[in-house]
Amino acid sequence: MIAVIWLGIIRRWHLRDQIPIRDIARRLDISRNTVRRYLRSETTEPS
């Protein structure tokens, strides 16, 4: 499970800093699908 703080970081890196999903996944050591799922979600809390 990803900590809530990582959700904000994922969104910021992708939307503001334009970091690709692949690089975010590599930096956080999580799958690309997980990164995509949290970018698609409207909430800021993990399910």
Distance CA 5, CA 27 (A): 15
pTM of the model: 0.79
Type of residue at 9: I
Distances (CA, A) of 45 to 4, 9: 6, 12
Model confidence over 1-45: pLDDT tens digits?
567 888 889 999 999 999 999 999 999 999 999 999 999 986 655
Report the pLDDT value the prediction gives residue 5, as an integer from 0 to 100: 84
Report the pLDDT value the prediction gives residue 6, as an integer from 0 to 100: 86
Report the pLDDT value the prediction gives residue 34, as an integer from 0 to 100: 92
